[in-house]
Structure 1
């Protein structure tokens, strides 16, 4: 049902987006059309990537999922960065981290918990991901923030590039650890059986073509979406911080959000946890460093330095998530706790 809705929205939304951009429709109307269309396209990209991942095998498939998991948000951020909206980009990265951990995780735990009293997931994966989250958010993001206080922009950028390279190296090492050297070592028997019976929705050629076309469409619409931010912000009284943390983050990850909740309702809570925490790790250890390095080739450089409220929001999100997921067991109340934390932060960022 959801896939059919995404397909219909894509077929209608892409032509309307192109026509609207050429005829210069009202920017607020275009903003809404662009957001809905990008959400639908993100769903299509997710289905194509999943099919390729199953067909290519677990190792290459894992790499594909890691690469395209946040493709939509990465594309939007690159265009925003090119337009000089550095604050929006940093805010969207913050929004992705707290959105995936608190909103996606919270909705998944709450929805699954309403149907099942208890839901269990692989505690070893949870502990592994918890360590990476603490490293990436608490250590790698805090160091540039603190040290940059006594540095000029050039030294801050040098520090940011160094941290970014280390983050990407560790991220690739984490993929190698999970997909090659320790693949299946900590998996439960039920997880192994489910993996063996997976079937691809689309053929390799069809999935590749759809992925290519959807990515091109997202790139085109994202470029025009970025130019509507100023008008929309003035119209609704939204700051760049709020647009990045709430709007861009939710639009860029909407398809993953829906998938995680559906998986939790089907009692596949392990998949939901992997989506929520795995996506946060992708943003922190791959997308963020990639944007820092990409900014070197643009007119506006982006150091890996977040504002104090952004940093506090991410750190508290990490520790709350680690505390709740550390036992490999969850319920609806824990999900509600995560959701309440997200709404408290959303109110705070709106009022800034």
Structure 2
């Protein structure tokens, strides 16, 4: 349904139907908090090879604050200032390191690793990335990343600077590049007419509910919580976002196999943030109930997973 809405909104005929459709899209954007992004992929797929004229289009639904479906929403730019980029990246790594330090001695190695990442950031590396970008903007390059937290369909900064925290930050070599980027960001993002990705993508929602109920997977959510699985809310996204630096540190610990450190980092966050973590099914971000961290009960325990009343999903497709 979301794909139908998107394509209908792109009709070329200047008739009354178009006017009504655009009005509905605007209304949904202002009230729903649900967005759909369309992506085209001509890679290798079952039954179709790359470049065979059979591209695959994927519609991905995410929760966003109302009026936030435009791709440029919550996006800021650093133009022609590699030093400012390096400063922001370092501040983000240091914020994550502070969370690791606060978690205690089990996180010493993770803290050291985050410090090493901080020390490796230089303005020269940023300049080199932009020099080879073909005049385009960038969010990351070799040895640096402005948007360390990927969660809920967006990648955002955890730099404590309020100008950047919780926002998608890009760096551009020029104002012209920035304008091109703004144009690009505002394509292929749409609001759902029904006001609900869960309605438009009910089949995928049902599939994920059944997936999280499979006992052999050891997620350890209750059957009732899995059956009530839903898309994460804007309020829950905001709560998780406030723990952005902790999530970056948590992910660093999990990837390093430092399960005890990851558990300690999570334990220092608010009860609301912890409840979201216990309920979250987001393999890409490393959250899988009681098998978060791969080994059962190593980070999130069976009891904590079973305390969830609803499993939370960060996207539907």
The question of a shared fold, defined as TM-score above 0.5 by the shorter chain, is answered with no
Structure 1 or 2: larger strand share? Answer: 2
Q: Provide TM-score, normalisation by structure 2.
A: 0.28
Bigger relative contact order, structure 1 or 2 (CA pairs below 8 A, ≥6 apart):
1
Larger radius of gyration: 2
Q: Provide TM-score, normalisation by structure 1.
A: 0.26
Structure 1 or 2: larger helix share? Answer: 1
